């Protein structure tokens, strides 16, 4: 078991800002495809009219133009992107979203390139390790050289989840130790069918935040561990060790603050399964047996009788990037101090000067399109004759492609107290293939925001479809998760799967085509066959959901069983005592 009222169908001319939209339709070119969605509140009609295919396209064309060189942080692409976003927000009459009234939040980061040496020692026996084929590690402490020479402890999945009655640590002192842990969530067999996972534990085959490597590293640091190594298994990971090599052996970035450094172990990284099995065998242990034991609630950490010696020399230097933050203040003198946050990451992968042919990763769908939605929703709200009761924050975030760094900084240094934030809505990769009968919720079943979305969709006879691949953990791979970690309920959607006038396989086919052909490739560009009727409808729905939240009488909540519910409950109790 492993976990794995003007919208038209259009042809567009890429890279020409302001290009005409040529009208077509889904089938025989005999009629115009109108968006049937009716606002839940008649006052939203003017806001809906402000969200158009022309604007969505125009923003994407600007942000994915070659002149922005792929929008990598700290490049000329960032300068042009930030300038464009701020100018758009100002033109709408929005206020700067930062406490000092500015539109820019400076994100302090540090770049790291690791040069490690490592070996394991059991008695007089030494097990050498080859970097990067056997392991990859990094130290994010800002020091030129760090050394770890410490005892090793196997801690199972490295998870403490009170809502599941799960604790892999059992109060064992891990101070100064090197912890070895398994990838993903605990894979608990269904007691009624051993070929399946237990849906009542860690959501069965769906990944939870406890399965994210970031959670494991932070949990190890909180327990005083000196280093943390995650055993890579290709099956449960869903990708080969070469992906870890590409991501961890080269230059990477991290937030550069004392608080962030304190949340990290001295050394963190991945160990290939083969060397891990060799280590355990030398220690008189069996990998499969340890995995089986780690699936039980009564598992306790296992000292390995081995030491890890790791030295990491690092090339590092400080860098600074920017989040762009705007605000529409609420109209109610009391409720205006409560907030809804829309987020979209503006950054992409830049350019590869060593490549032949096209060197620029334009990132049209990822995520110029999400930023285009952010700007269009902001325009919709500013078109309303009366502002919503509560305030809206629009945050275009940096560094998502480098580990959601802009989102992490924004959540750690928020412009408003997060206990005053009702919810977050994240915007990523709009639909470019036409209207759908549904809208996909990533992380389905997590919050009451889905109920709000379902009501908004129902006005046009649409509905929600869950993510068909929950085991891949997409919910934990985008910027909104940094708000979620701090208890803020979040909504994250992708395009639907049931396209109007298309066969049932079309949606999945287009999704898979994009993933295999264009995702994180120079070919992610504006295309002449884009049909933005669906993008218009989905963007309007996201405004509708936000308006309902801003005007409603109750706050969205996490549903029972969510790993983030306890954090939210605690923050609301603290807020109530103010």
Question: Taking residues 51-80, what's their average pLDDT?
Answer: 97
Segment 483-495, tens digit of pLDDT: 999 999 999 999 9
Compute the CA torsion angle 368, 373, 379, 380 (nearest 10 deg).
170
Query: In this structure, are residues 56 and 7 in contact, taking their beta carbons and an 8 Å threshold?
Result: no
Q: Report residue 360: phi and psi, to 5°.
A: -100, 125
Note the CATH architecture for domain 9-102+329-576.
Answer: 3-Layer(aba) Sandwich (3.40)
What residues contact 200, with CB distance under 8 A and at least 6 apart?
A: none
pLDDT, mean over the chain? 91
* pLDDT for res 578: 62
For 262, phi and psi rounded to 5 degrees? -65, -25
Q: pTM for the whole thing?
A: 0.87
Comparing 403 with 556, the larger pLDDT belongs to 556
Neighbours of 529 (CB within 10 A): 10
387, HSE (Cβ side, Cα atoms, 13 Å): 18
Q: Can you give the pLDDT at residue 38? A: 65
Q: Where are the domains of the chain?
A: 9-102+329-576, 109-317
Residue 447 has pLDDT above 90, yes or no: yes
Question: How far is the C-alpha of 235 from the C-alpha of 3, rounded, in Å?
Answer: 8
Query: What pLDDT sits at residue 515?
Result: 87
pLDDT tens, residue by residue, 11-63: 333 333 333 333 333 333 333 333 445 676 788 999 999 999 999 999 999 99
pLDDT of residue 326: 98
Domain 109-317 has CATH 3.10.20.30: no
Q: With b meaning 16 or more CB within 10 Å and e meaning fewer, what string describes 246-259?
A: eebbeebbbbbbee
- Distance, CA of 372 to CA of 58 (rounded, Å): 8
For 272-308, how does the pLDDT look when each residue is reduced to its tens digit (9 = 90+)?
999 999 999 999 999 999 999 999 999 999 999 999 9
Residues 474, 428 contacting (CB under 8 angstroms): no
344-391 residue pLDDT tens: 999 999 998 988 999 999 999 999 999 999 999 999 999 999 999 999
Query: What is the structure's pLDDT at 577?
Result: 62
């Amino acid at each position: 078991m492993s976990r794995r009222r003007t919208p038209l169908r259009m042809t567009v001319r890429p890279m020409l800002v302001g290009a005409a939209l040529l009208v077509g339709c889904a089938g025989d070119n005999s009629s115009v495809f109108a968006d049937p969605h009716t606002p839940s509140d008649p006052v939203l009609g003017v806001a809906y009219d402000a969200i158009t295919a022309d604007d969505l396209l125009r923003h994407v064309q600007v942000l994915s133009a070659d002149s922005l060189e792929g929008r990598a942080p700290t490049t000329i692409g960032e300068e042009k992107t930030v300038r464009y976003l701020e100018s758009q927000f100002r033109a709408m009459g929005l206020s700067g979203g930062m406490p000092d009234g500015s539109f820019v939040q400076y994100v302090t980061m540090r770049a790291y390139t690791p040069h490690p040496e490592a070996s394991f020692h059991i008695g007089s026996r030494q097990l050498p390790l080859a970097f990067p084929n056997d392991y990859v590690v990094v130290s994010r402490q800002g020091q030129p050289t760090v050394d770890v020479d410490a005892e090793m402890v196997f801690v199972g999945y490295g998870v403490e989840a009170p809502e599941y009655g799960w604790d892999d640590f059992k109060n064992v002192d891990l101070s100064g130790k090197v912890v070895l842990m398994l990838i993903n969530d605990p894979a608990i067999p269904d007691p009624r069918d051993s070929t399946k996972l237990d849906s009542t534990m860690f959501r069965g085959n769906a990944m939870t935040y406890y399965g994210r490597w970031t959670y494991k590293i932070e949990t190890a640091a909180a327990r005083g561990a000196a280093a943390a190594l995650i055993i890579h298994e290709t099956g449960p990971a869903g990708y080969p060790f070469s992906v870890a090599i590409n991501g961890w052996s080269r230059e990477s970035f991290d937030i550069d603050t004392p608080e962030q450094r304190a949340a990290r172990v001295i050394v963190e990284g991945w160990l290939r399964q083969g060397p891990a099995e060799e280590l355990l065998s030398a220690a008189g242990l069996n990998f499969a047996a340890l995995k089986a034991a780690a699936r039980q609630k009564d598992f306790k950490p296992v000292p390995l009788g081995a030491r890890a010696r790791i030295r990491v020399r690092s090339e590092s230097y400080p860098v600074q990037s920017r989040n762009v933050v705007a605000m529409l203040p609420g109209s109610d003198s009391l409720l205006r101090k409560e907030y809804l946050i829309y987020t979209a990451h503006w950054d992409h992968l830049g350019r590869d000067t060593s490549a032949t042919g096209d060197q620029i990763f334009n990132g049209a769908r990822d995520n110029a399109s999400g930023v285009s939605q952010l700007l269009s929703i902001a325009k919709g709200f500013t078109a309303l004759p009366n502002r919503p009761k509560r305030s809206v924050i629009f945050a275009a975030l940096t560094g998502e492609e480098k580990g959601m760094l802009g989102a992490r900084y924004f959540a750690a240094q928020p412009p408003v107290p997060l206990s005053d934030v009702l919810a977050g809505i994240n915007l990523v990769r709009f639909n470019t293939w036409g209207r759908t009968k549904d809208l996909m919720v990533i992380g389905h079943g997590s919050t009451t925001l889905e109920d709000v979305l379902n009501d908004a969709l129902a006005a046009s006879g649409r509905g929600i479809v869950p993510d068909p691949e929950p085991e891949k953990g997409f919910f934990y791979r985008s910027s909104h998760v940094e708000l979620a970690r701090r208890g803020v309920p979040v909504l994250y959607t992708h395009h639907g799967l049931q396209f109007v006038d298309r066969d049932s396989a079309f949606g999945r086919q287009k999704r898979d085509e994009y993933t295999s052909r264009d995702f994180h490739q120079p070919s992610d560009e504006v295309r002449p066959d884009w049909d933005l009727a669906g993008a218009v409808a989905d963007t309007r729905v996201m405004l509708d959901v936000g308006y309902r939240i801003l005007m409603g009488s109750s706050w969205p909540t996490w549903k029972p069983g969510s790993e983030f519910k306890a954090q939210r409950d605690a923050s609301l109790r603290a807020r109530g005592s103010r």
